[in-house]
Structure 1
Amino acid sequence: MKIKTDEITSVLKQEILNYKKDLGVDEVGTVLEIGDGIARVYGLKNVMSGEMVEFQNGIFGQAFNLEDNSVGVVVYGDYLAIQEGFTVKRTSRILEVPVGPELLGRVVNPLGEPLDGKGPINAKLTRPVESPAPGIAMRQPVGEPMQTGIKAIDAMIPIGRGQRELIIGDRGTGKTSIALDTIINQKGTGVICVYVAIGQKASTVASTVEMLRNKGALEYTIVVSATAAEPAPLQYIAPYSGCSMAEYFMYNEKKRPSWFTMIFPNKRLRIVRCPFYFVALRVGKRIPETYSIFTPDFSKERRNSTTNTARVL
């Protein structure tokens, strides 16, 4: 067998010409300690405040505390799967969630990851979880009613599109039922609904989703679920994520207003932090015109601290 050196040489030259090596330079740190959803990371000297970082097992976190010798990272996932010595790398981007019509009819976690077993969400766009609040000049007065389907509300205390609405009541008085009835009543009106469940049982969220599906309301609704079993950081960003998903329709499809619903837990151990979610979110500052907010399950004892935030029903 005769070896043809010319052919071998030409093949090698061609392979060398076609060879492309993508070299990436990542700034990497090391986990010093982990506990209660917070990781202390050594390194990452150039990380930005609020920047997303990725642990070696694929879990994401967000840099919060920038200290002299370490960085405090909030873990958005199962922090028990992270161990000391794990590497952490920068992503050079802030926390974003997928947005768009691809999320309609889906159940997602606060990071926009699917929870309903229907496969991946092929969203083409993302939005930052935190965005600047529109100024007073950008807002328009509330001038168009939103029908809830409940005669007592629509006749005596109607809700307008672009309005905040807070419902206060004891356990079992029907606060969540009003929100769900309102979502169901939007069928055929072109209104997009975003339902954010924070700190509820997974079985409760599942029954709510099944009810919306049976009523034909899930097709125009996005369900963001941060159950009681989820880490505190995921529950913390849940209302922010829901706002970002609703804001996409507000800014890009202005003829399709959104109905934004936040459901908080009613347990006394958690009720103390509920007003702080609302105040920290300043959700009204992020709503110029086109979607309404409905936030049930605030404690009766917190009535005086929340009446200045939204109208009380």
Structure 2
Amino acid sequence: AMCFSPSQGPCCSSETCTFVQASHSVQCKGESDCSWSSTCNGRSPECPSPHPKANKTRCNEGTQGLTTLSLQLCINGECTGSICLEWNLAECFLTSNIIPNIDKRKLCELACQNGTDPSTCRSTSDFALQVGLPEGGISLRPGSPCDNFQGYCDVFFKCRAVDAEGPLARLKNLLFNKETLLTVAQWITEYWWAVLLMGIAFIIFMGVFIKCCAVHTPSSNPKKPPARRFSETLRRPMNTFRRMRSPHSMGVGARGMGGAAPTRGPPHGYGESRGQYYDGQKASAPPASYSRTNHPELYAGAYGGRSNAYEMRHHKV
């Protein structure tokens, strides 16, 4: 028979794309605790179901140190039966309700009872030597439930109690039950003035907190003073309080000292004439009544250079 791909099953040959014949005795599934090995039969690409071992065959046997972990029995090829079935007993829990002051280590031991009678529940350590078990009996695996599902076994084989409600549920029941709410309402009615003072104090505190954060938070606004450091506030807290009252009094330069900041004139060459500052008023020529004869001082600067040059030439000659 032909098969299309080895992905169809382990009994499809990758070389010939045919079923692996039974005469080749190719093992496709190994032996387990509750089943025998299986070989290809030449009729299917899938591995045939293995034959199960006899019921009540011990399985899932393991140890941790000197402790024997819970054994089980094979039932119809599956490791699902309790070891108690080997002695015609039923598995049970050792509980702290039936046995007061029981050791937590004892609660993590496998126990068996007669039928459905809980009063006959005994640990396997009590009859271990009678049935051929190691001394100390069989312990439950870490994480297994114990004390009738009221706890779990830890890695030290001690039963740890589990709170069904949990801490959050207990806190909710404590804060929001009717008695607590009624008590709070009565206290507010009797001490209303204290509630009012606490509200005012809270508002003042939040205002101071916000202002303090504003002083210590950097800002990209150039008009605001630089942010203070927390170390400076711890060393000089009064300076921070003063700055919170008047944030613009801590500026730098003449503006921060209260004086007007000096203004610079325009750059060289800006204005009506080169080398002069433009003061906003446009330059104008002198009136027509002004002349070189009646106001020689106005023209002295303009012609002073030529007169001086004439005097120097005359003196040189």
Report the TM-score, using the length of structure 1 for normalisation: 0.19
Report the TM-score, using the length of structure 2 for normalisation: 0.19
Counting strand residues as a fraction of each chain, which structure ranks higher?
A: 1
Answer 1 or 2: higher relative contact order, Cα 8 Å, separation at least 6. 1
